[in-house]
Structure 1
Amino acid sequence: MIWAKDSVFLLPMSILTRYFSKSDLDEIKSAVGEAESKTSAEIVPFFAESSHHYKEWAWFGAFLTGGLTGASFYTAQKVYGLVWNHEAMFAVLSVWIGAFLGLGIFTLLPKLRILLVPKNSKQYFVELRAKEAFLEEEVFRTKNRTGILIYISLFEHFVRVYPDKEIARVVPKSEWNEAVRLIVEGMKTGKKKEGIVASILFCGDLLKKYKIHAEKDDKNEISNEIRDGGKLL
């Protein structure tokens, strides 16, 4: 996570450099500056690889694999007419072996683990993390409460736009759907940078449309870099 404090930008931006080149990051930063030149708002793009570790779902994976191996043992026994000494013990043992294997697999393979997570649970953690990011990045600390957080959670495939209260008061919530769509479309087509840039520029035009104009003494209150949400999985 990168906080709004300038000193934090000295840390390696490992997640960002995994998905974006330096020229991509510079282009995103330039897009923020261009969009903000049309308005008094401060736009804060935030890129997270994931919004939660979902480690608790590894236990659910263990439950599934334990049940699967137990059912497989029972089925094989019935189909092939196998007769075992201490049959009940072997049945229980097959369940435990499957459960331990499943726990190891889903613990070590986070991309597989996240497939077990229901959509509403992913949405809950994305919403929670986005609100934390809004506070941590101090998006609310603008002169006229005109900050905007664009939160992107890659593995969950969710994007959220959170405007501060003065913008939310003027711009209808439905207007942000296009900003979300542009990023999602970019992610789907392998054009992450292009989608983010297009979304940022759209936000600038949208704010201009709703007459949130730049003031004469307008200052850049929040840095223009895209924030690194870190690795949670």
Structure 2
Amino acid sequence: MTTLSDQDRARIAAAITEAEKSTSAEIICVVTRSSSDYWAAPFLWATLVALVWPWPLISITNLTASTIYLTQLVVYAVVALALSFPSSRRMSLTPSWIRRRRARLSAREHFFTQGLHRTVNRSGVLLFVSAAERYAEIMADDSVSVKIGESAWRPILDALRGALARNQLADGVVDAITACGAILAKELPPRENDRNELPDKVIVI
């Protein structure tokens, strides 16, 4: 994953502050290295290889059952270990639909753990990025989602995913926040006596 320097974090925080000047919405940005450790993948593949391994030995050798069983255990251990590192290998062995599901579940979890559902006017907006999966999502609370449909966020997310593919994480996040702010300003302008309920910073996990 492309890391965020202190300067990058300051840029993102400034983008959030600037975007919130024109809207009553509360924006939080969460960037995580990965949405899962994907430890299941190497062990599932090792199990598959170990299950297939004995059949050719039974067909073409005179090895005893106990010897074949021991080789099966060794094969399982070697394959599991070989496929476990680095972490990018575990992720590559995991089907893309599982990676997307894990990332989406992680986004939902952070929406609640960061308190976006507790704003006074239910106007929280989460920009979530899972860098390893190149996954990005915008989740909005009730007051926002009734006025702004998911289709409005799609071009922003497409641009952000493109930035992730080019290893331009910070630039992509800043541009996404700015674009979100422009949409939010039209539909949810500032209210009288608005106060900043959530911190204007990027949360890196």
TM-score above 0.5, yes or no:
yes
RMSD: 2.3
Q: 1:187 maps to what in 2?
A: 164
Partners of 2:204 and 2:35 in 1: CA distance: 12
Q: 1:219 maps to what in 2?
A: 195
Contact 2:134 2:165 in 1 (8 A): no
Amino acid at match of 2:40: E
Identity, % of aligned pairs?
Answer: 24
TM-score normalised by length of structure 2: 0.89
Amino acid at match of 1:117: T
Q: How does 1:34-183 map to 2 (within 5 A)?
A: 34-66=18-50, 74=57, 85-86=62-63, 89-183=66-160
Secondary structure of 1:223 counterpart: coil
Listed one character per residue, the Cα deviations across residues 92-130 of structure 1 (whole Å, up to 9, x for unaligned) are 444322210122223343211111211221222212111
> 1:87 deviation in Å?
5.8
> 1:178 deviation in Å?
1.7
Contact 1:57 1:117 in 2 (8 A): yes
Contact 1:182 1:196 in 2 (8 A): no
> 1:136 deviation in Å?
0.5
**In the alignment, is residue 197 of structure 1 matched against residue 174 of structure 2?**
yes
In structure 2, runs of 5+ residues without a counterpart are: none
Contact 1:67 1:98 in 2 (8 A): no
**In the alignment, is residue 206 of structure 1 matched against residue 179 of structure 2?**
no
In structure 1, runs of 5+ residues without a counterpart are: 1-14, 79-83
> 1:48 deviation in Å?
0.9
2:10 to 26, 29, 33: 26
Secondary structure of 1:170 counterpart: coil
Amino acid at match of 1:95: Q
Listed one character per residue, the Cα deviations across residues 66-115 of structure 1 (whole Å, up to 9, x for unaligned) are 357657x65xx96xxxxx55265554444322210122223343211111
Partners of 2:52 and 2:27 in 1: CA distance: 49
> 1:60 deviation in Å?
0.9
Amino acid at match of 1:178: P
